Copies of this chain bind each other. A is one copy, B any other.
Amino acid sequence: MKSPSVVGILGGMGPAAGADFARLFVQACAAHLQALGLPVSDQSFPEHWLAQVPVPDRTAALDAPHAGRAGAHQPLDPMLQALGRLAALGATTVAVACNTAHAWHGLLQQRFPQIEVLHVAHEVAHDLRAQGVREVGLLATAGTYRAGLYDGVLRDAGIACHLPTEAERERLMHGIYHGVKVNDLALARDCFEPVARALAERHGLSTLILGCTEIPLALPAVPGHPRLRCVDPAWVLARALARRAYAGFREERPMLAA
């Protein structure tokens, strides 16, 4: 049986989200194998490497004077170094475990044409469109809003995207930086929950994208809103990475069945 492909996870942004992405990827692989009726064992998982490297703050770099110029190289350099190492380890596909870092996706992909760097917003838009979703709210970092990471991609997929107010965005940032990133999940939840509720109620939404890997760590769902679906882009991305890892593996199935 042909082995699954080696894949990589570019993490450290923050490290808790990176470790959680590894967990989601393992879960996505198990689900993939089970859906194909294949046995799950330690040896049936793809070789994968999680790089947790210190990367300067992404939102701060996007906020720097002449964004895309002066500050923007700061997160890019360590991401390129880690990506090069993942490529050297044999990774054919890499997922970046940070939504905001996707502001540098184009440059990462351009420098490493030999590997596929997944784009989280493309994967989310693709999934939502397949499910017939037409309207969503987006909770994210200031950097993700500023870079417009989801807006255009969702629009191209025919999905309207509603954003929080400026004050609500500041509250989200507070919960991410003073909550999840310093391991105070209660404070984070107190920041995220009212914003999620207000955004959903203001536009009558049934779907929210939790577009920062740190948000679902504190708020996987909105209490009291059982019908409000919270999409975790990390889970969507983890499933996409699992599909890539098993792509060659899957092709072999007809021969095995024959």
> Chain A: residues with CB nearer than 8 A to chain B?
3, 12-16, 18-20, 22-23, 25-27, 29-30, 34, 40-45, 47-57, 85, 89, 181-183
Asked whether, in the complex, the Cβ of B16 is within 8 Å of the Cβ of A19, the reply is no
* Bound-state Cα–Cα, A98 to B47, Å: 16
Q: Which of B13, B15, B50 contacts A52 (CB 8 A)?
A: B50
16 of the cross-chain contacts (CB-CB < 8 Å) are A12-B45, A12-B47, A13-B42, A14-B42, A14-B45, A15-B45, A15-B48, A16-B23, A19-B22, A19-B23, A26-B52, A40-B182, A42-B55, A42-B181, A47-B53, A50-B50
Shortest Cβ distance from A48 into B: residue: B52
Residues of chain B contacted by A85 (CB below 8 angstroms): 89
Residues of chain B contacted by A49 (CB below 8 angstroms): 49-52
Known A-B contacts A42-B14, A49-B49, A52-B50; A19 and B30 likewise in contact (beta carbons under 8 Å)? no
Residues of chain B contacted by A48 (CB below 8 angstroms): 15, 52
Residues of chain B contacted by A51 (CB below 8 angstroms): 49
Q: List the number of copies, as a whole number.
A: 2
* Bound-state Cα–Cα, A57 to B29, Å: 19
Asked whether, in the complex, the Cβ of A22 is within 8 Å of the Cβ of B18, the reply is yes
In this complex, the member of A49, A52, A54, A181 whose beta carbon has the largest number of chain B beta carbons within 10 angstroms is: A52
Q: Which of B12, B23, B42, B54 contacts A12 (CB 8 A)?
A: B42
Residues of chain B contacted by A56 (CB below 8 angstroms): 43
* Bound-state Cα–Cα, A40 to B181, Å: 7
Asked whether, in the complex, the Cβ of B47 is within 8 Å of the Cβ of A52, the reply is yes
* Bound-state Cα–Cα, A88 to B85, Å: 10
- A237 CB to nearest B CB, Å: 15
Q: Which of B23, B29, B54, B183 contacts A20 (CB 8 A)?
A: B23
Asked whether, in the complex, the Cβ of B12 is within 8 Å of the Cβ of A16, the reply is no
* Bound-state Cα–Cα, A43 to B20, Å: 18
* Bound-state Cα–Cα, A15 to B25, Å: 10
In this complex, the member of A20, A23, A26, A57 whose beta carbon has the largest number of chain B beta carbons within 10 angstroms is: A26
Shortest Cβ distance from A78 into B: residue: B47
Asked whether, in the complex, the Cβ of B183 is within 8 Å of the Cβ of A41, the reply is no
Asked whether, in the complex, the Cβ of B45 is within 8 Å of the Cβ of A54, the reply is yes
A26-B52, A48-B52 known; 8 other A-B pairs, CB under 8 Å?
A: A13-B42, A15-B48, A16-B23, A18-B22, A23-B23, A42-B57, A43-B55, A43-B56
